[in-house]
Amino acid sequence: MQEVLNSEAIDAFKAWQTDWCKFAKDVLKVDLDPEQQAILRDVQNHPRVSVCSGTARGKDFIAAVACVCFMYLTPRFNEAGELIANTKIAMTAPTDRQVGNIMFPEVSRLVRRAKVLPGRLVGYDIRTDWEEWFLTGFKASKDNHEAWSGFHAANTMFVVTEASGIDQSIFDAIEGNLQGNSRLLIVFNPNITTGYAAQSQKQARWKKHRLDSLSSPNVVNKQEVIPGQVDYQWVKDKVDSWCTPISEANFTKGEGDFEFEGRFYRPNDLFRVKVRGMFPKVSEDTLIPLHWIEAAQENWRNAKPRDPNTPLRIGQDVAGMGRDNSIACFRYNNYVDKFEIVGQAGQADHMLVAGYLTHLLRYPKNKAFIDTIGEGAGVYSRLVELGYKNAFSAKFSEGATDLTDVTGVYRFANMRAYCYWALRDWLNPVNGNNPCLPPCDELTEELTEIKWKFRSDGSVIIEAKEDIKKRLKRSTDYSDALAETFYPHDTIVQEQDLSGVFF
């Protein structure tokens, strides 16, 4: 690329490589709003970026901007003008129409507007004089995995639009090509709560964004600021058609409630997905919906400093050999301060965990709850041996006789079901607990994967941990630690001898 630039442009080119948003403004001649700039910066600096969006919010436009930036800012040439670090970009979608009528026209408009960029627009491609430097677009097909086999390059980018409609096997093929300086950008409307795209909004390895039509410049300013984006009148019509007016007293962020022109509304699922870029409410067997967790995380961001005299409840999940992590959860009433990894992953160092807890249990008001099935038994026994009466055996397998949910209606098959349901009741916005959870991708992923059902005797049971682990491909360490903080120690009388702890 440098060889087509005169010497006066070299400094500018280096500045563009450092700041893609500057390239978008100077060369592509586009003005990006703050949300779009944040997406582009994440694509510049991170291998995986996930964007869920409301209708006509500009997700395909920012994906096109990211493609053109990657196309022209990543290849490298030597002083002889030879390509020494090639760049390949693949754009794909579930249908040929989406590639040909939506994705590639956005790219071609940007290239034509810039006027100075090398390459030829051919079909759904940008082709250059170098065979190994190109952008191409094609329909994703689960029956044609060979289409992905040629995308090994020094710089590789995959852009997937309407990603919720793409088969898992295609993403598996793409993942196999993510080597070197690679990027995967997926954009989608969050129509469903399952699949690769939905999971990307939970997992720690992704940078995540949501484009809400309510925050579009066209809607905020009530006039066309960005041609082609969602307009104010359309959103206003959907507010009237798809939303229910509510009082401010009933306003609940966890339901997706919002304020519009001085009034408060609760959306139905169509509005959540099409306008707000939020996932629909999940199936009835999901223990905790994603939007409850997001609301609690927002509470955490806005929370005032906690009272230092508030007693601490520590949930300690103890890892065994080969498991992920020993996790400690710190909860002060409605405020979860943090999760901490104790020791190294996969190391069953019970004495290290016990020693860690002794520093916290020196304060009598603090309480630690340890699941004593398996690895936690050794930690608990050592704490009892040291005389810490504020350490409790939170044995998930024990019975939950006479324990009910907040309504007094539901009963539980075991203590694990009770503790997780108590966590659910705590997070449920209608109960008014104002729960505060720190942003934690691992916790979010775990909580939204857990299913529940009624047994034949009418009691609630949580699905087996091994079944959850098969889907997550790891243990539910974070959610177990949080659930342990809801162990009802005031109700359950514990014996300080260790009968029944080891088995």
- Dist CA 106 CA 124 (whole Å): 11
Domain annotation covers residue 118: yes
Whole-structure pTM value: 0.73
At 95 the pLDDT is 86
Boundary (domain end) residue, out of 165, 185, 211? 211
Q: Do 401 and 430 share a structural domain?
A: yes
- Residue 48, pLDDT > 50, answer yes
- Dist CA 174 CA 46 (whole Å): 16
Asked if residues 391 and 313 have their Cβ atoms less than 8 Å apart, the reply is no
At 144 the pLDDT is 63
Boundary (domain end) residue, out of 234, 254, 281? 281
Q: Do 303 and 272 share a structural domain?
A: no
Q: Do 276 and 301 share a structural domain?
A: no
Number of domains comprising the chain: 3
Q: Do 410 and 320 share a structural domain?
A: yes
At 502 the pLDDT is 29
Q: Do 229 and 177 share a structural domain?
A: no
Q: Do 207 and 147 share a structural domain?
A: yes
Domain annotation covers residue 254: yes
Domain annotation covers residue 308: yes
Q: Do 165 and 307 share a structural domain?
A: no
- Dist CA 488 CA 375 (whole Å): 21
> pLDDT band at residue 503, thresholds of 50, 70 and 90?
very low
Domain annotation covers residue 16: yes
Q: What's the CA angle centered on 53, arms 38 and 95, to 5 degrees?
A: 115
Give the C-alpha distances (Å, rounded to integers) separating 186 from 115, 145, 158.
28, 18, 8
**pLDDT tens digits, one per residue of 310-338:** 889 999 998 865 556 789 999 999 999 99
Domain annotation covers residue 497: no
Domain annotation covers residue 339: yes
Which CATH number do you get for residue 116?
3.40.50.300
Domain annotation covers residue 292: no
At 360 the pLDDT is 92
**pLDDT tens digits, one per residue of 171-204:** 988 988 888 899 999 999 998 888 899 999 989 8
Q: Do 232 and 379 share a structural domain?
A: no
Q: Do 123 and 8 share a structural domain?
A: yes
- Residue 427, pLDDT > 70, answer yes
Q: Do 461 and 312 share a structural domain?
A: yes
Q: Which among 336, 340, 313, 337 is positioned nearest to 328, based on CA atoms?
A: 340
Domain annotation covers residue 291: no
- Domain residues for the domain of 253 are 218-281
**pLDDT tens digits, one per residue of 436-462:** 999 998 898 899 889 999 888 889 999
Q: Do 234 and 121 share a structural domain?
A: no
At 68 the pLDDT is 97
At 149 the pLDDT is 65
Q: Do 408 and 389 share a structural domain?
A: yes
Which CATH number do you get for residue 433?
3.30.420.240
- Collect all residues with Cβ–Cβ distance below 8 Å to 7 and sequence separation of at least 6: none
- Dist CA 347 CA 345 (whole Å): 6
263-267 sheet: strands from edge to edge? 243-246, 263-267, 258-260
